[in-house]
Structure formats: structure tokens, C-alpha cells
Amino acid sequence: MGGVIRDLHPWPRTEAEAVAIQERLRPMVRVEDPPQVRTAAGLDVAYRDEDEIVAVVTVLDVASLSVVDSSVVRGKAEFPYVPGLFAFREAPPLLAALDELSVRPDVLVCDGQGLAHPRRFGLACHLGVLTDLPSIGVGKTAMGRYEPPGEERGDWSPLRLDDEVVGRALRTQRGVKPVFVSVGHRCTLDAACDLVLRLTPNYRLPETTRTADHLGRIS
């Protein structure tokens, strides 16, 4: 996938620099219907110790949910652990892993947040803008407030932050805790939730996340 990552900013050294980058890039996020999705990339980061990072990307054929490509990049975190600024720890190795792929995915499925973020620019937005690929965030925990959705697969309720709808609590399996879906870039919330349901035929988490997490554990 080499050569498609846009050089839009230097990587910051301070919190103030990082916040300024998020504020500057936020207007570049586009919410629109994505093109046809045949392949979806799962992105995950494992920590071997406080600063040792294993960044993993798996690319799945959405029809069969089989892995068609993958990459693993190891490195050191260059930015401190600051809530709301996780992208500055995790994006650099994830971008390096994306750069090693031979298959360009149609969408990025991030284990984290998109617009469900204090500055509406979570990891999924950041990676989407830098690659200009459609991207979505699928979080295990909520960034914001929500009422529990119905118990059936596909039921959802709005996820709100500062009285603004920033995503959805989506029930992917009957009677199982919801996941929290938000737009990253070049996608709509309806399309993001439809894709997540396609990626969760049997389990709570998308197969993109599950395969990336598994590869990170054994690498």
C-alpha cells in the first residue's frame, strides 16, 4: 500500500502540539456514502510493556471473512499516554503496518473511536484522513452517554457527547454488550453500522478486530 499516506503534519512532542494538529485536521473529515466495500482492514495495537508496541493490520474479504493480507510492525511509543491523544502513540506504527500491505483495503476498521472523541477526531478519523480511506471506529467502551439498545442483534441507540450524537451503541449479538460505532472518515453512520453487522456473524467484536488481536498475541 506504499505511497498513499499523506504527509499532513509532523509528529508532535507536546500535548499542545498534538491538540493543535487534531483541531487543524478535524475539518478534513468527510461524512459520505463509502464506495463498495469488498475488503476491510482490522487495526489493533498490542503493548508488550509500557512503551513497546506491536501494530497489526489484517485485511479480510468481507464476503468470506477470510484473511487475504496482514502485516505486523514493532516499535517504541514516541508519545506519552494521554487520554484523547492515543492516536499519537498508535498511529505511527499502524501507518507503517498499513504501508507494508500488498492489498489496499476498501475501509479501515479501528479498535477505537472516530467522531466519538472530545475533539471529534479519534484514531479512526486520524488514520482515515492521513490515508484518505473510508474508516470507522468500533470501540469496546463508550465515549459518551447512551441508553441501552434493544436486546436483539442490530438494535442500536444514539451515543451522545456534549449533547451531540457522535455514534451508536450497536448490539451485534443478542443479549451481549453493545459495541460503540462512530464514523472516522468517508463513511456514514448507517453504512458503518451495516458493515459492523456484516463483520460480526458470530461474536460481539468484528472479525477484523478479532483477527488483528489474535495475530498481535502470537507475533
188 vs 194: CA distance, rounded Å? 10
Domain that holds residue 156: 21-218
pLDDT at 17: 96
Number of domains in the chain: 1
Its pTM surpasses 0.85: yes
Residues 43, 142 contacting (CB under 8 angstroms): no
pLDDT in tens, the chain (219 residues): 655 777 889 899 999 999 999 999 999 999 999 999 999 999 999 988 877 899 999 999 999 999 999 999 998 888 988 999 999 999 999 999 999 999 999 999 999 999 999 999 999 999 999 999 999 999 999 999 999 999 999 999 999 999 999 999 999 999 999 999 999 999 999 999 999 999 999 999 999 999 999 999 988
CA distance 38 to 19: 34
111 labeled binding residue: yes
Please report whether residue 4 resides in a domain: no
Q: Quick check: is 8 in a domain?
A: no
Residue 87 lies in a domain: yes
34 lies in some domain: yes
Residue 11 included in any domain: no
pLDDT of residue 1: 61
CA dihedral 120, 125, 130, 132 (to 10 degrees): -120
Q: Does residue 94 fall inside a structural domain?
A: yes
Residue 82 counted as domain residue:
yes
d(CA 4, CA 15): 27
Give pLDDT, residue 206: 98
CATH number at residue 33: 3.30.2170.10
Please, which residues have CB within 8 angstroms of residue 81's CB and are 6 or more apart in sequence? 89
Is 7 a member of any domain? no
Select from 57, 3, 70, 66 the least CA-distant residue to 38.
Answer: 66
